[in-house]
Each structure stands twice: as C-alpha cells, then as structure tokens.
Structure 1
C-alpha cells in the first residue's frame, strides 16, 4: 500500500464561488465529519442514525454514510481483501469531505479497522472538522448480538478476512470520543455524542 493514488495530469482544481463558510452560514451550523468506528455489531449504524434523527429534529442538515449502503453503490465493485477495504475507506473519506464542504454534518458508520486509513480520512480536512468516535463494544458482546449472522459464518470459515476473527481491528489510540455501546443504553450514547459536538462548537442548540 502507498499513500499516493494515480490521477490524471490533465485536471485542474476549480474553486467554488459559494464557499463552505457561506454554506455553513446558510445552514446555521458548521459542517463536520463524525467518524464512528468499531467492530461489526458494536452499534455504529444504530448510533449514527439515532444521532442523525436527533439533529434533524433540531433543524440541522445531516447525512449518514452507512457501511452496507455504500457497498451497494459507490463501492459495489470492492470485496473485503485488505486492499479493497483500504480503497473502500478512501472513497468514503473523500465523499464525507464533500458533504462536510457542503456544510453538512455527515456521520460515517464503518468498521474502518485500520488506524492508517482513519488517519488518512482525518488528514483530508482541517483540524477540528473530523470527530473520531470509538464505539467501544467488546467483541464477545458483538458476537453474542451477531445481528447479521456474520460472526457465525466467520467462525465456520464461510467469510474470510472478517474483523475480530481472521482480520485485526486497530482500536483508536486518541479518539475525540469513546462511547461504550456494549453496556450503555442508546439514548445515553446519543446524548454523549450530542454533548461532544456541542462542546466543540459544531452545533449550538440541542
């Protein structure tokens, strides 16, 4: 893997007339990336959609990029090899950046198991615009939940390169927020996220 990706030499960056600051002023809040990471079954998608519902009810512009949904379209050509998983997260990072530049609070719900790929996504935006949220749930609980039946298949050898079973998960070392999704109820987890982004000045009213 390298940090450089091929691109055409015959392209020029076009600077938009309507800036991110103008979009944020129209929206009434900052754009930001809330990057939820954790094992399969840790509750990332559930938490992301619950946070979005709360923010939407308060009048904020939001969008959730969900791991399974993205693989139905944008990343439908990718498998689950280490190389494809890196590319999957690279694409998600770029899309999340575009949403953020539109002044939207974008929530991503991806296992995103490798620190290097999460840091690459972070490096795409300015400091303070990327909020890494670690959905800390012991793999034993995730496997007990097994909401998609994936752990059972992984244990049976039907899924290769499965995070936590046959492929590693590199937990965040310094995330902006750790949410214990293994034992904490959903409403409390939502409030923890809302409090974090309010404290960081992304939103004002809740």
Structure 2
C-alpha cells in the first residue's frame, strides 16, 4: 500500500454525519495498515480551540489551527481526517493552501438541513429555532456550499460503508493512495 500523507476535510452542517464518516474512514484506513488521525470539530473545541467562540474571526482561526495540525500530521506521514462544519468557502480555501493543494481532499457532506434537523443529537437546531443559539450555521448563519468539492456525500442517501469506498476511490484517483499494489 502506497500513500501520500494527505488530509481528508469533511465539511457540512452540524449532524450531517461528518464525525460518523470520519471514524468509519479511519477504521477502513487502519484495517489497511495506514496511520491516520481524526480531528473532530467538537473535540477540538474542547482542546486545541477551547479559547475560540463562533464569530466569523474565531471560526477562521479554528479552521487555521486545524489545517496547521493536519499539515503537521501529514508531514509526519499520517493521514489527517478533519470533520468540521467550516462554513465559509474562503476558510476552506485557506485550509487547502495551508495543508497543500496536492494533498487536500475536500468532501462535502451534503446531507440536507431538514435531515440534520431531524437527527439533531445535541438539540442545537431546536435551540436555534427557539432563539437560544444565535448564528447557528444553517439557521442564523450561512453555510457556503463548496463550489467544487472533490467529492459530495449525502449521508441520508448513502450508507457509511459506501461513502468510505467512494472516499478511498477518490484518494486513489487523485494519486494520494494506492490500494492495489
């Protein structure tokens, strides 16, 4: 198995399935003896980015820190899997350039807002609709849909196993990894 240590950047609304997909992808990579690390937005907000809020500037800094961490992981030979809402296109572009264009795969987890609201495991959408959370992405703040993602996956239509295969095939077609020897 040949790899170019890369970053798989999963972006989408809260409850779109980014974290579930990230962990499924990590399990698939580990099963193929590839070193990887999942950087989950919720966990990072409790550790690396605990001093940041949700203003546009803080969101940008959150993305910058995560992209810098991804680059360091890639430099160490590890595949980074980042699962962040990352709502702004300019911030995702910044992440792509920080990591390196040739080793950045943007996956838009395109699950519709209505499905995300139905899932709502943390009650964020319910609170946002009740006015308790201003500026929740998708409700009180914009989510800028990626214009040219490397891959789009709707987790309400595609099971995680099929999604993982699609990501692996995209990585292989972009020459970031070679599954067949």
Q: TM-score range by the shorter chain?
A: over 0.9
Alignment-derived partner of residue 160 in structure 1: 134
Alignment-derived partner of residue 82 in structure 2: 108
Distance 1:44 1:197 in 2: 17
Distance 1:200 1:81 in 2: 34
| Contact 2:11–2:86 under 8 Å retained in 1 | yes
Which runs of no fewer than 5 residues in structure 2 stay unpaired?
none
The count of aligned residue pairs is 180
- Deviation digits for residues 130-172 of structure 1, max 9, x if unmatched? 1000001110110011121111111111111100000000010
Does residue 201 in structure 1 map to residue 175 in structure 2? yes
Matches within 5 A, 1:50-129: 50-129=24-103
Does residue 170 in structure 1 map to residue 135 in structure 2? no
| Contact 2:12–2:18 under 8 Å retained in 1 | yes
Quick one: which of 141, 148, 152 aligns to 2:115?
141
| Contact 2:67–2:99 under 8 Å retained in 1 | no
The structural deviation recorded for 1:28 is 4.8
What secondary structure is seen at the aligned counterpart in 2 of 1:36?
Answer: strand
What secondary structure is seen at the aligned counterpart in 1 of 2:45?
Answer: helix
Alignment-derived partner of residue 12 in structure 1: none
Q: Which has the larger radius of gyration?
A: 1
| Contact 2:11–2:87 under 8 Å retained in 1 | yes
Q: Which has the higher contact order (CA 8 A, sep 6+)?
A: 2
What secondary structure is seen at the aligned counterpart in 1 of 2:34?
Answer: coil
Distance 2:88 2:101 in 1: 20
Alignment-derived partner of residue 18 in structure 1: none
Q: Structure 1 residue runs of 4+, over 3 Å off?
A: none
Distance 2:94 2:59 in 1: 13
Distance 2:119 2:99 in 1: 35
Please report the TM-score for the alignment, with normalisation by the length of structure 1.
0.84
Distance 1:138 1:180 in 2: 8
Does residue 151 in structure 1 map to residue 125 in structure 2? yes
Please report the TM-score for the alignment, with normalisation by the length of structure 2.
0.95
- Deviation digits for residues 20-65 of structure 1, max 9, x if unmatched? xxxxxxx952110100000001100000110000100110010010
- Deviation digits for residues 49-108 of structure 1, max 9, x if unmatched? 100001001100100100011011111111112221111111111111111111111000
